[in-house]
Amino acid sequence: MKITKIEALANIANDIRIGIIEQVYNANSGHPGGSLSCADILSVLYFNQMNIDPKNPNARERDRFVLSKGHCSPALYATLARKGYFNKELLKGFRKIESNLQGHPDMKKVPGVDMTTGSLGQGLSVAVGMAISSKINHDGYRVYCLLGDGEIQEGQIWEAAMSASKYKLDNLCAIVDYNHLQIDGNIENVAGLKYIREKFEAFGFNIIEVDGHNIQELIEAFNIAKHKKGLPSVVIAHTIKGKGISFMEEKAEWHGKAPNKEEYEQAINELKLQHIIG
């Protein structure tokens, strides 16, 4: 069922954030910062935009989602559990040896995961292949690919972008989680990555730039992408790393660090206070 109320989607994003923190805390391992920054994006995609059915996760006509920044699997797992692909209790097994919910998503073990990811820079190539397949076979599905801003320092991203443009993949929508931070610090300081909009523009993409935490803007962006003909689209979503938790926001050190008990309790309390009543 498509959810259209902004408050409801914001609360789902908040639920996803709580699920992220619980997973990383229970595992004492994982990547909270970039998972928290993309929660609103995932809420809009999975609960408002994508043609998917948790009861039929392998339907041929379903829309596809590729989490190219696969280390942010806690965000995807929390989203899939919230959508009903598997029992929420399984989130407690995150990164445990006996669990299917490993540090990077595995399409053979987790229902709702369309591609196994983890090696940065490869997801957009896979998404391009999926989008081409949809065109060739007249399946009609759309493909969404979530990229990290640090990840797009990888050269393979731009090779894939060239192919997307060449084949006029208007059924492909890339999303850049533009939180400005990677494990070693600011993306511009680490590798001189600037002018992301202009780069994608030069590679022939339809550019849509939004506040990645504004639900309404995200809905409008994905709707624009759906109706754009002849060009692949990219949604450049300006986000905050560690969004929703005061001591994690805009801190590179929370890229891949688990909270201790005190930090966990503070994080959960802060997120619960952000729930919108009504």
pLDDT band at 102 (very low <50, low <70, confident <90, very high): very high
- B/e letters for 180-219, b = 16+ CB within 10 Å, e = fewer, are bbbeeeebeeeeebeebbebbeebebbebbbebbbbebbb
Distance CA 111, CA 184 (A): 33
> E strands of the chain, at which residues?
64-67, 143-148, 172-178, 181-182, 185-186, 206-211, 233-238
Whole-model pTM over 0.95: yes
Distance CA 42, CA 56 (A): 19
Burial of 89 (0-12, 13-18, 19+ CB in 10 A): exposed
Distance CA 13, CA 50 (A): 16
Q: What is the pLDDT of residue 129?
A: 98
- Residue-wise pLDDT for 180-215, tens only, equals 999 888 898 888 888 999 999 999 999 999 999 999
Write down the mean pLDDT value for the chain: 96
- Residue-wise pLDDT for 39-54, tens only, equals 999 999 999 999 999 9
| pLDDT value at 165 more than 70 | yes
| pLDDT value at 36 more than 70 | yes
Residues 190 and 220 sit within 8 Å (Cβ to Cβ) = no
What value does the mean pLDDT take over residues 83-96? 97
- Residue-wise pLDDT for 208-237, tens only, equals 999 999 999 999 999 999 999 999 999 999
Residues 19 and 87 sit within 8 Å (Cβ to Cβ) = no
| pLDDT value at 70 more than 80 | yes
Burial of 80 (0-12, 13-18, 19+ CB in 10 A): buried
pLDDT band at 278 (very low <50, low <70, confident <90, very high): low
Structure tokens at 40: 């609103």
Residues 21 and 261 sit within 8 Å (Cβ to Cβ) = no
Residues 177 and 148 sit within 8 Å (Cβ to Cβ) = yes
Q: What is the pLDDT of residue 185?
A: 86
Residues 122 and 156 sit within 8 Å (Cβ to Cβ) = yes
pLDDT band at 1 (very low <50, low <70, confident <90, very high): confident
Burial of 93 (0-12, 13-18, 19+ CB in 10 A): middle
What value does the mean pLDDT take over residues 68-79? 98
CATH T-level fold of 6-273? Rossmann fold (3.40.50)
Distance CA 106, CA 15 (A): 23
Q: Where are the domains of the chain?
A: 6-273
Residues 233 and 205 sit within 8 Å (Cβ to Cβ) = yes
Q: Of 54, 225, 41, 38, nearest to 131 (Cα)?
A: 225
For helices 6-27 and 215-227, what crossing angle results, to 10°? Answer: 100
Q: What are phi and psi of 50, to 5 degrees?
A: -75, 145
Distance CA 33, CA 252 (A): 8
Structure tokens at 118: 């983890």
Distance CA 180, CA 173 (A): 20
Q: Of 69, 10, 36, 91, nearest to 254 (Cα)?
A: 36
